[in-house]
Structures are given as C-alpha cells and as structure tokens.
A and B are shown apart, each in its own frame.
Chain A
Amino acid sequence: MAFDIFLNSSLIILTIGLLFKIAQWFSFKIGIRAENAGLMQRAFSAFKGVLKTIITPKIFILIYVFIIDVLFQYKILKQDFLRWFMHMLIFWGFMLLLFMHALETLISDPFFPNYYSTVNPYMFLRDFFGAMVLVGLSIAIFRRFFMRIPRLKTNKSDLYAIGIVAVIIFSGFLLEGSKIISYSEFRNMEEEYSALDDKDDIFALESYWVKYYSLVSPNDTSEVPEDIMEVGEEIHNDSCVDCHSRPQAAFGGYAVAKVFSPVGNILECISAVNIFYYIHILSCFLGLALLPFTKMLHIVSTPISLITSAIMQRDKACPENIATRQAIELDACVHCSTCSTNCSVAPAFDTLDNANILPSERMMSLRKWVINKTVDSKDFAAIQEGIYLCSSCERCTVVCPAGINLRELWYDVREEFIRNGSIVTPLVLTPYSYNRTYSQDEFQTSLLDSPAREVKAVIAKKYNKVKHSDDVLSLTSADNNENNDISLVDNTFSSCFSCENCTNVCPVVMNYENPEDYVDLLPHQIMRSLGLGLKDLALGSEMLWDCLTCYQCQEHCPQNVKVTDIFFELKNQISKDCFNNNDKEP
C-alpha cells in the first residue's frame, strides 16, 4: 500500500518534471537561431525532424550512435579508459538492476519463467550488478577527490549523483543482509511456503536454516541433535530448496549478514528489515522523482544530444530544431570536465581567475543564465569573458562525450549577447575576435563591428581624446609624478627623440591618407605623450587597437624604444582600468 503510494507519487512527479523539462527545451531561447519561434512551432518542427529521421536512412545513424555512443560509450573510452570503465560499471550495473530487479514484475517474471530473486543465478546476479555499481562509484570518488585532475571541478549536482546512487545500492545490500538473518522473514516464508503446524518441525527447519542459511534465531539451536537436523533438512528439501539458494551466492548481502549476525536479535527488535526497506525504496523513488531536476536527467538528455548532434547538420537542419537542440544540450552536459581538461585557453583561467573560462563551468553558468537572462550581473560579465576567451580550436566539441556541439553553442550565444548590445569585455579587441569575421557566412553574423565599437566607447569615456592637432594640451594634468614601479618597458620611451621612424614604417599609418583621422595619435606621438607625462592621451588613442603588433616600429627605432611592447603594456592597463578584470566573481 505504502509502496504503491510512494511509487505512484514519484511517477507523477517524474512525469510532471519531464513534461516541464520538455516544455523548457521547446521554449528556452538560447543563441540566435529561431529567436521568434514559439513553443508549439518548435515542438512541431521537432516532431517533423524525428519523423524525417525515422523514415530515411538516417535511422541507421541513429541506431549506430545509440549502440556505439549510448550503450558502449565509445566517446568516453576514447578520452580516458578509467573513466569509461567507471561509467560502464555504473551504467550497466544500474541498468541491469533496474530491469532485472526493480522491474521484475514487468520484465524478469514474464521473460524468465524460472525467475526467483532468491534462486541462482538471479540471486548472485543481483549482487554482482550491485557490486559493479559500487566499484564504479568508488572509482568516481577516487577520480573526483583523490586524483587531483587539473581543472576537474566537482559541484553539488555531482555530489548528489554519486550520493543518490550510493544510498540506493548500499541500502539494497543492507536490506538483503538484514533479511538473510531476520527471524520474522523466516517465519513469514515458512508460513507461506511450508505451512507447518508442528512446533517441532518448525524448530527443526529453523535449526537447519541457522546452520546453513545464516538465520539468526531467538531460540537456542546450538546443540540440536543430528536427528532433528535431518528432519529440518527433509522439510527444507520439500518446501524451500526449489525457491531459495544458499545465501553465499548473494555475496554482498551475505557479507552484511555476517557483520550483522552478532546483533541480529537487536536488529530484529527494531525491525531493521523495515528500516532498510524504506530507505531503499524511498531513495529509489526520490531519485526517480527528482530525475528531471538533477544531474540524473542526463540519462535522457545525453543520449538525445548524442543522437541529434550526429544526425543534424547546421546548414541543413531547420533552425528551430537547432535552437531546441541547444536548449537540450544545456541539460545534456554532465559536468564531466573533459572539455575543460582539453581546453586550449585553460591556462588563462589560472591568471584571470574566472571559472567561466573553462567550458564545463560556462555550461553550468549558462544553464542558470538561460532561465532569467539577467545581463547586468557580475555573473553575466564573467560568462561573457568566458565566451570571448576562446581560440576556436574546437577541441571541446571534438572531445565532448555527450556529443554537445559546443562550438556552435559558443558562437550562437556570443551572437545573442552582441545583438543585445551587452558586450563589455576588452577581449573583443584581441585576435580572439578573428573567427567572428572569418566565419561570418557560416554563422550569419550581423553587426560585425558593433562589439569593437561598444568596447572602444567604454574606453573613450575613460580617457582624454585629442581629435584635432591644434588643440592646446594642458601639461598641468601630467602624471609624471605617478612614476609607479611598472615601467613602460623599462622606461625606454624616454629615449624617444621623435625621429618619426616608427610612424614612417607603420603599415597602419601608411594605409591612410590622413592617418590622424583614424588612429588619433601616431606611434611617435604616443611615445612623446608618455615622455610628456600625458599617459591618458596615449591610453585613449585608437592607434593602440589598430596596431598589428608587426614590430616594424620597434625594429626600426634607432633609440631602442620598445614601441610595440609599450603598446601592449598600455593595452593591458586599459583593460584593467576600464573593465575591472579582477572583480568578476562575487
């Protein structure tokens, strides 16, 4: 009765949760694909897409991916054998327990006519599958907490996932062990299967079970004569042996029984079997009910991601379906950190102290962000920095065991940020922007120059700009007295005598008829500004960001002024002064 109530309510919560998740997948807007498509339209497109896949040869890709990547998890194997071994143990152990043990009335009973959970091989297999999961979990804990894999981060959802599975399996073993020694369980079985009337017969069977089946009896059976034991064996052979193997086969439960047996009578008094039973089923039902809201959702979302990413091509697939796929991908991420351990720009995480530089952490942030899409928080600034600090090497996409097309996700989210006009990271003004222009056709990029313009506007606000060469410069604001210990590349700028060599060889200057109209200050003027203590003027100059870093100026300077390197130093200062780099994470 209680069982049914718990089961049904957890199934109801599960169903509602899954429907809620599916509704989110069809309504969450992430990226720039299908911005205006509504829930129904996207659901309809998805339905069409699924239908198209099933009735075309694409179905074979689907089957192939399901076998290789979902059941066999080849993508994990390619990355890391230990992790694959761990996950296979947990996945297969748990799935087999689910089908053989949890769903025994639906699967084992009808398909295996001789199925009895207390008969070998099933009795042994149940423990074997449980042990598989436990070994897998031990490896998982070892990996996460003892191996110290760089950039492998563990968050609450990872702990929950390990925790819930551990509780289910452990309580199962405890339940089994306490059942083996339980006297009341013995009496129930005796009543059900042998229905003995004679007290002596019951005692005989009991004695036999104490000796061979690890039963803990409140009666003293230590000095039972041989003939009574024989009677017990006879009854056992008549009533029990067909349906009950010896408990040693259930090696996990048997070990627990051996540990418990000294206190067997106490456990009997507190009805430990019931306690463990409820822990076991409640943890199962809790796991089931919370599945849509926890990491365990990956049992559903990750296979979908693996299959859709193998089937869908960006240029051919319907944009609404790409938008939906990207929403699912947020949930398909299992935070395994494979992307982060392979990420090309991960070392920047060590100097910029922003977890969002690591793709796996960025996924977690985006998952939260997509719900409200708040753009003025510090979290959002951190996500932006992460999105922009990407060398487009696509390693994350290649290695992702969940098949998430991270490359497209980063692109689309970045475009979404740009369209909202909310880009405020100096990374826009670095070669990390290259790929945006390079891949503009593939990603239908619009507003190509808007990020640079907006970031430059932030910089312009901070510093004095001199637009006309006949403007009078005030030297009273000179910051000569500042003289901080970070030299502009060892103060070489002070050797500048304005020969203008740097300016004359600069290909950027040469590109314009009236270069001052474009770059504000010419290279030699920047060096002179620094010499005059007008650092602000230098910092506000567009020239810094148009600099190709080709080192022509520095190479040709007769005074060994490190012109290009000084530019770098100025740009670094701007990014610190204007964008508050160190204050990203609250």
Chain B
Amino acid sequence: MKKFALFIGCNIPVKVKQYELSAKAVLKKLNIEVADIDSFNCCGYPLKNIDQAGWLLSSARNIAIAEKKSFDLLILCKCCFGSLKKADAMLKENNEAKIKVNKILSKEGLQYQGTATINHLLSILHNDITIKVIEEKIIDKYKELNIATHYGCHALRPSDIMDFDDPANPSLFDNLVNVTGAKSIEWESKLDCCGAPVLGINDNLSYDLTEKKISNAKNAGADFLCVACPWCQMQFDKIQDQIASKRGNVYNLPSILYTQLLGLRLGISKEALGIENDQKDETLNLAFQKLFETQEKKVKKAKKEKKAGVKVSEKKVETEAEPEKVK
C-alpha cells in the first residue's frame, strides 16, 4: 500500500476539527496509515485571485515536502486538492515555472519533482480501498436515510486535470454513500458550487447560492447534505445559521461529513467521529434520529433470540461481538 501524508489545510484544524478526527478514525478502521506533517503550508488557493505565482509556490512547496519524505498526498479539502493538483499539472507542463519554483524552494532544501501523487480522500476510499472492501467492513446499514451528496467544484473540474470523476455525471460519491445503506438522492444543482469562494467578497451572492442549494436538497427530501470538504461544510453549517438569522429563511437541513456518515456504520462511536447530535430543533432531531437507525438492528434482535436456543460457533460470536463492543 502507498504511504500517505495527510493534508488537512488551514480550515480543518480550526473550524472543522471533526473532519480530521473522523477521517483518521475511518482510515484507521480501513487499515490506511497516514502521517501528519507539521511543515505543510496553505495550499495557496486563496492567493490565486491576485498572485498566481504565490499560489504555485505554495502548492509546490507542499508537494515537495511530501516528495522529500516519499509520501503520496491524501487531501481532505476539495479546494486544497484542486489547488495542489492544478499546480502539479502546471509544473509538469511548464518547465520554466518549475525551474523558478525550485529556485525558491531550494533555499529550504526542497525540490519539486512531480513524483508524489495527489489524491482526495474520496478517491482513495472509492478507487484504492474499493466499495467492495468498505461493504465488507460495514457492520450494519442505514435503514432509511436520504442523503444529498455535494460533490464540490474543485474536485470535479476542470476534469482534464482533476481526473476525479465524470464531470457531467459523476457517481463516485453516490456509490460511497449508497454502500452505507443510505440513499443518495437525485437533486437539482447537485454539481453546483456551495457559495464559499465568494463569501467575504460578495456575501449576498454567497448566501444566495448556499441558500439555493440547501433549499433544493430539502425539496428533494434530503435528511442530510453530505460533503467531503471543509469549505462546503462551513457553508452548509454555520453560514446556513447566518442565513437563518439574517434572512429569516430557516431550512434546518443538517450537513454531515462523509467520514462521519461512513464512520458510524463502520462501528465507530459518534464521539470518536465528532458528531454532536444534541439538537434543540425538532426537524434536526428527526434527521439525527435516522442517523442512528440501522437495518440490522432488527436482524440482530432476531439473531439474539435465536442464539438463546441454538449454540453458535466461537468464530461467529467474535464477529457478533464487534459492534457490541463499540456501543
């Protein structure tokens, strides 16, 4: 298996801590080892608007650090992923830019060579670990949970560089959601932007776009929005609250990180995934209730009753015991 350096970016350690927590828990459960590297810097994405040279250097430095330690990159944030992947493509194509960047990096004893692969968490789960293996590891499935998957722009497009999934009709995220027993629903504006890139520049526009997405997902019957990017999560979480308080438009559609959605079904406790479900609102409460209802609870109950009469082999007891332990 490849050796991965976990790239968490700037937002996760401050505002979306549960993403790092849950991602690490899930990866551990799936036997993927990741290394934390303190010297990583901002991917440079926000700098792109005014100084592409700064963006390119910032991204290249991160790749160079991973290369120096012979790691591949496993990225949690879609914008960091887009940023590094685009920089990687540009540096591979443009030798002049590469020389320039390396001249600056060499001051720190770093060199960008282009040997590290740049991956988003979802691709690793879907393509490297595979749906089949995830299915084997899942201890029980969601009973009735409608999920509106939000792909995130910077992972999908431009598809010739990102190579993440079919940009017009992607299925990767839906497959990952469906394997948990939840239902990835069809909804309008599924592939659109969450609105985060213009928050702070044009708040009204950002609110408009976020609100539109939330409302579309809600209308399509979603219990949760599901994301795999801190920007999107912040947008659907805290910015949704801001929309509610500033515009008076209350949707109460919670957003969950994919690693949390999957983690629960891998038997990881909600505390270890950073899920807070003490909601005051009834709609939200209902959604979170569904999150803890599983198909096999019934089956298990039946099995238990059966067990009382029939002797079961030790091996079977062991496999049964696992979910119990977690609870």
Contact = CB atoms under 8 A, between A and B. Distances in A.
A347 interface: yes
Interface in A443-475: 448-449, 452
B201 A452 contact: yes
A525 interface: no
Given A345-B58, A347-B58, A548 B198 contact: yes
Given A438-B238, A554-B157, A555-B157, A344 B51 contact: no
B50 A575 contact: yes
Contact of A568 (B42, B49, B198): B49
Given A345-B58, A449-B203, A548-B193, A571 B198 contact: no
A443 to B, nearest CB: 13
Contacts of A448: 203
Residue of A431, A545, A552 ringed by the most chain B CB atoms within 10 A = A431
Contact of A555 (B158, B196, B242): B158
Most interface-central of B10, B104, B195, B231 (chain A CB within 10 A): B10
Contacts of A351: 51, 53-54, 57, 104
A150 B107 contact: yes
Nearest to B109: A150
Interface stretch (B120-128, B172-180, B204-212, B319-327): B204-212
B15 interface: yes
Contacts of A508: 205, 209
B200 A431 contact: yes
Interface in A517-559: 518, 545-552, 554-555
Interface in B205-246: 205-206, 208-209, 212, 231, 234, 238-239, 242
A224 interface: no
Contacts, number: 170
Nearest to A357: B54
A348 B46 CA distance: 11
Contact of A344 (B42, B48, B167, B239): B42
Contact of A507 (B11, B154, B193, B203): B193
A498 interface: no
Given A426-B50, A429-B201, A545-B201, A347 B44 contact: yes
Contacts of B192: 507, 550, 552
Given A438-B238, A550-B157, A555-B159, A348 B199 contact: no
Nearest to A350: B104
Contacts of B196: 431, 434
A532 B156 CA distance: 32
B108 interface: yes
Contact of A347 (B41, B49, B158, B202): B41
B14 A549 contact: no
17 contacts: A347-B42, A348-B57, A350-B57, A351-B51, A351-B104, A391-B46, A431-B49, A437-B206, A438-B15, A546-B198, A546-B201, A551-B157, A551-B158, A552-B153, A568-B52, A571-B50, A572-B50
Interface of A: 150, 342-348, 350-352, 389, 391-395, 426-438, 440, 448-449, 452, 507-508, 511, 518, 545-552, 554-555, 564, 568-569, 571-572, 575, 581
